[in-house]
Structure 1
Amino acid sequence: MAPAEAALRSFAYALVILLAAHWFYLVQETVPEPYLDEVFHVRQAKNYVQGRWNVWDPKITTPPGLYLWSYLIALPQQAFEFGPIHTTFFRVTNLGGALLLPWVVLNILFSLAKIDDKNESSNANSVVSWSAAELVHAAVNICLFPPLFFFYGLYYTDVLSAFTVLVAYRRYLDNEHEFWIFLSGVISLLFRQTNSIWVSVFLGGLAFCRSIRKGRPDVELSNQPTFREMLQASWKHALAYDPPISEACFEDYINSGVSFAVAGAADLSTALWPLTPYFILLYTFAWFVYWNGGIVLGDKENHVVSIHLAQMLYVWPSFIFFSLPLLYPYIVNIAIPSTLLPEASRISSARSRWPRAFLAIPTLAVMTAIAHYNTLVHPFTLADNRHYTFYIFRILLRHPAIKYLAVPIYFLCAWAAIAALGGQQVKKAPSQASPQHLASSKKTTRNTDASKVQSPPLLPSGSRVSFVLVWLLATTASLVSTPLVEPRYFIVPWLIWRLNIAPIRLNDTTRAASTPSISNNSDWQSIETVKGIFYKWHDHRLWLETLWFLLIDAATGYIFLNCGFEWPQEPGKVQRFMW
């Protein structure tokens, strides 16, 4: 690691730790006693620290990972009898998890970038990649994500739950031994039940796609095969059709899913053997559900499993709200005709990949049907005016037509969020070799005439279709089983999505392909060079994202600390607004 890169990483750690510690201090000074669900969490943690392992609070629905973590940290204090343990101590143990987040986020971002350089990942095509300075900047932004940052100061499960999922993801990206991936998955299950989806379905799905792509390195699936050619190649050669998102149409998502399924069936041993640890994790969770008689541990009456497909409508405007600085170029390129936009502000893949009418209309119809038949409102949502979702649903339910008018917004938000994973197609630099649009191999399966293999004027970037399919499957499985809508439930889906966002260079697309690679240490030999990287190649959206997150964190923090109110039924007790 070059000195300048090490200095930037250290600065990122210090900045996140400073901001998290400051927020923790403000909360502790203003709200020293347990607040809301902290009452149950702190009480349960005290039972474990005091050795009462047979006591379980019936109001707690999540596994005991948070309390076990605090118990381990409390061992030295208990051994030397430093005195009673108060709420502050338990909040500090949770803050410890927050201070580890920059480490795992940075490692994931650099692992993704390195894999991208080698063009080996399920979501890699390394024509355009983030610079190291941008990766460090993105890591800071991710740690400032408002629904996550807010809980740095409270004793909730969300921070450590997200951290353990990211640790498992990092181990997968680094190709660590299956045992360590399995162990990380088991630890993650101790913090939240839905983590089972992310450490088994999501990572297992990525492992399946990777095993298919690496199965036949001696043959190639052509760039734009017909459906029949794709099926033949998938069955005869176990190949999968997996185009970059920036080049994919709606049909490509269907074709890719079918292609991977057929390729897996054609070579079961290659496809399934790497999935062993993920199957064991999924079986472990299934056994727990059977033993427990349900997903949640306590309060089963108010947390009944249900099919709530509307969750997959709400997740998209949530992403747009928090990540507007990242997604606004895609929205602008759709809302405004390209002829009215400056050339430097056009994303070449945006309008050309906009869903066509014969596909958009059925999708909107399905979304409308979900809004009509499956809009579930949990009693807790409208009974507790301390949460922001209370006010959102008050608006949605104000008039019967509002939930239908929101459907086009869901559709546009979903398109923008997925398009951002693909980045943009950028102008080809004269010195670059023509890219090969490969599904997973190196020898063509059909003949093409010379006119069809000329160097394309644009190069793809960002994730591939298979990553979107796996991520969508995991997100759906983790959300649709709960009728309660909370921003906290969107934290892990957002983190995985945000970690895989592709860069764009609206100010100079011709320079995008020459962005410094993180593997090129010569880019990091001096601070002067780092300054050049920040100003010459830095994606401007990162600065906007930093400002946006700081504004939201400051606003929600101020409201929580200074805008308390009282309920008539609980006089003298301060109620506070929170996520």
Structure 2
Amino acid sequence: MAHKAIEILSPLIFFAASIPIFNKLYGTTQSVIDEEFHLRQGLHYCHKRFSEWDPKITTFPGLYIASIIVIPFDMCNVYGLRLVSLLASTCNVYLIFKIRERATPLQRNSLVLAIESMSISLLPPLYFFSHLYYTDVLSMTFFLAMYYYWSKRSHGISAIFGAFSVLVRQTNIVWVVLLLGVCFLDELIEMYAYRKGIKRKSTISLCSVKTIASIASSWGVVLQSIVNTLKLFYGYITVMVVFVAFVVSNGSIVVGDKSAHEATLHVPQIFYFGLFTLIFGAPVLFEKARETLRTLTKSKKFYAASLIIFLIVVRYNTMAHPYLLADNRHYTFYIWNRFYGKYEWFRFVIVPLYVLALKVIQLSMAHLSSGFQLMFWVSCFTALCCQKLLEVRYFLIPFMILRLNLKIRNRRYIIFELVWNLSINILTFMIFFKKEIYWSNYSEPQRIIW
């Protein structure tokens, strides 16, 4: 009974604690950067003007459709639309609680789960957008719902939430494919182990060339796995087929303004994601980072080879989107112009940290199935390395996948994480409220956000 009460109370406490910040931000400004396009479109849908569409918007209309829920409360205004994000963020607390509860069945301490779910929901870039009208928070909510039901093997419901997540942000199709891919690979390993008489499936690694060659040569196993996947996981496949049909008919994954979002191979994005993970996961990844350093010092050839490859990639594939160079309302602008863009040597000096970060991620997921690990990296590469713009919001879902699957040995790290996230949030909100930037084409002062 106490467990259920804490499960319900933790989102409510999160919501109540966020309202003062939400109100202060609302009182400070009525529009933040691209929010002006989202708000305008949201108001169209809120007032049932469904034929109106802003060509500057590049995402599907999921956010605006969901915003119809404010109509009965007579809240078709900026405050009401932004409240959709805060409510979605509150749902995230509950969903994270349920997912971590399943991921740590032997450590079901209700209070620890409540603190952890709130701490993860306070991930600074995600939490900041909980107070604005952007697609990111609702996108995360539908992803978490999809992931939760997938973990419960309720694949029909999971696929429905997957469709909703794509309707909010079309790049979420990558994460639908991830879950389908894991289902297929798990089915493949199951069939392969049965045919070969292997009792311990965990010993079958999809990272082994010999194993992959052996599986590929077993045509009966592969075909039966495909048939089983089509039978059992048709919901995800339906979402994929409909999405592919849209891309073919539209000529692009982007809705509206396609010129600023053309597909480009940009491999360093995966390095930036590694750095993002080290920074925001520092409290819970500290032990794993120490273990990684010991591993790398023992594997000098691997470390040296990785450094050389990463240096070549940085030298020949580093890109800077015009938005990154011109928009001083984002932290990435300052990071790039004061370090990466100003000092070319900085791009190379930081490479060892990239190697460390990606190795930390790999070791942190070592307890998961080889199919999950393989699909995670394939999905991260697809989602991140096919776009030119450096944007921290793109890293939110892959970071969340990692964080939801972490094994945390010491509960103190969760407290450290909570303090860490709270501290960064306090700092970024202070900067937002105090720092004003004046643009000639805007009458109101602009502010710095993630």
Q: Which residue of 2 aligns with 1:15?
A: 13
Q: Which residue of 1 aligns with 2:447?
A: 576
Q: Which residue of 2 aligns with 1:291?
A: 249
User: Is the contact between residue 209 and residue 466 of structure 1 (CA under 8 Å) also seen in structure 2?
Assistant: yes
Aligned positions of 1:484-499 closer than 5 A: 484-499=389-404
Match of 1:300 among 258, 272, 290: 258
Per-residue deviation, 1:360: 2.5
For residues 220 and 292 of structure 1, the distance between their equivalents in structure 2, rounded to whole angstroms, comes to 48
Aligned positions of 1:101-500 closer than 5 A: 101-114=92-105, 131-176=109-154, 178-199=155-176, 201-215=177-191, 216=193, 221=198, 241-242=203-204, 266-274=221-229, 275-333=233-291, 351-352=294-295, 356-394=299-337, 395-422=339-366, 462-500=367-405
| TM-score of the superposed pair, with normalisation by structure 2 | 0.91
Task: Provide the secondary structure at the position in 1 that maps to 2:130.
Answer: helix
Per-residue deviation, 1:265: 6.4
For residues 295 and 305 of structure 2, the distance between their equivalents in structure 1, rounded to whole angstroms, comes to 19
Change (3 A) 1:37 1:255: farther
Which of these two proteins has the greater Rg computed from alpha carbons?
Answer: 1
User: Is the contact between residue 296 and residue 303 of structure 2 (CA under 8 Å) also seen in structure 1?
Assistant: no
Per-residue deviation, 1:577: 0.5
User: Is the contact between residue 197 and residue 477 of structure 1 (CA under 8 Å) also seen in structure 2?
Assistant: yes
For residues 292 and 211 of structure 1, the distance between their equivalents in structure 2, rounded to whole angstroms, comes to 34
Task: Provide the secondary structure at the position in 2 that maps to 1:298.
Answer: coil
For residues 540 and 257 of structure 1, the distance between their equivalents in structure 2, rounded to whole angstroms, comes to 41
More helix by share: 2
Match of 1:552 among 420, 424, 427: 424
- Residues 1:26 and 2:24 are matched in the alignment: yes
**Paired residue type of 1:548:** W
Per-residue deviation, 1:164: 0.7
For residues 265 and 286 of structure 1, the distance between their equivalents in structure 2, rounded to whole angstroms, comes to 28
Match of 1:96 among 87, 96, 120: 87
Aligned pairs, number: 445
User: Is the contact between residue 329 and residue 448 of structure 2 (CA under 8 Å) also seen in structure 1?
Assistant: yes
User: Is the contact between residue 326 and residue 541 of structure 1 (CA under 8 Å) also seen in structure 2?
Assistant: yes
User: Is the contact between residue 274 and residue 358 of structure 2 (CA under 8 Å) also seen in structure 1?
Assistant: yes
For residues 562 and 104 of structure 1, the distance between their equivalents in structure 2, rounded to whole angstroms, comes to 34
Task: Provide the secondary structure at the position in 2 that maps to 1:23.
Answer: helix
Task: Provide the secondary structure at the position in 1 that maps to 2:445.
Answer: strand
Task: Provide the secondary structure at the position in 2 that maps to 1:156.
Answer: coil
Comparing 494-503 with 395-404, which one deviates more in the overlay?
A: 395-404
**Paired residue type of 1:269:** Q
State percent identity of aligned pairs.
29
Query: What's the RMSD between the two structures over aligned residues?
Result: 2.6
Deviations along 1:337-382, whole A, 9 cap, x unmatched?
xxxxxxxxxxxxxx35767233233322221121111111000001
For residues 387 and 3 of structure 2, the distance between their equivalents in structure 1, rounded to whole angstroms, comes to 43
Q: Which residue of 2 aligns with 1:338?
A: none
Task: Provide the secondary structure at the position in 1 that maps to 2:387.
Answer: coil
Deviations along 1:494-546, whole A, 9 cap, x unmatched?
111100001224xxxxxxxxxxxxxxxxxxxxxxxxxxxxxxxxx21111100
Task: Provide the secondary structure at the position in 2 that maps to 1:401.
Answer: helix
Task: Provide the secondary structure at the position in 2 that maps to 1:367.
Answer: helix
User: Is the contact between residue 6 and residue 110 of structure 2 (CA under 8 Å) also seen in structure 1?
Assistant: no
User: Is the contact between residue 5 and residue 132 of structure 1 (CA under 8 Å) also seen in structure 2?
Assistant: yes
Per-residue deviation, 1:318: 0.5
**Paired residue type of 2:304:** I
Q: Which residue of 2 aligns with 1:566?
A: 438
For residues 321 and 113 of structure 1, the distance between their equivalents in structure 2, rounded to whole angstroms, comes to 24
Gaps of 5+ in 2: none
User: Is the contact between residue 130 and residue 503 of structure 1 (CA under 8 Å) also seen in structure 2?
Assistant: no
Per-residue deviation, 1:162: 0.8
Comparing 484-493 with 14-23, which one deviates more in the overlay?
A: 14-23
Q: Which residue of 2 aligns with 1:51?
A: 48
Q: Which residue of 2 aligns with 1:535?
A: none
User: Is the contact between residue 257 and residue 466 of structure 1 (CA under 8 Å) also seen in structure 2?
Assistant: no
Per-residue deviation, 1:97: 1.2
Per-residue deviation, 1:280: 2.5
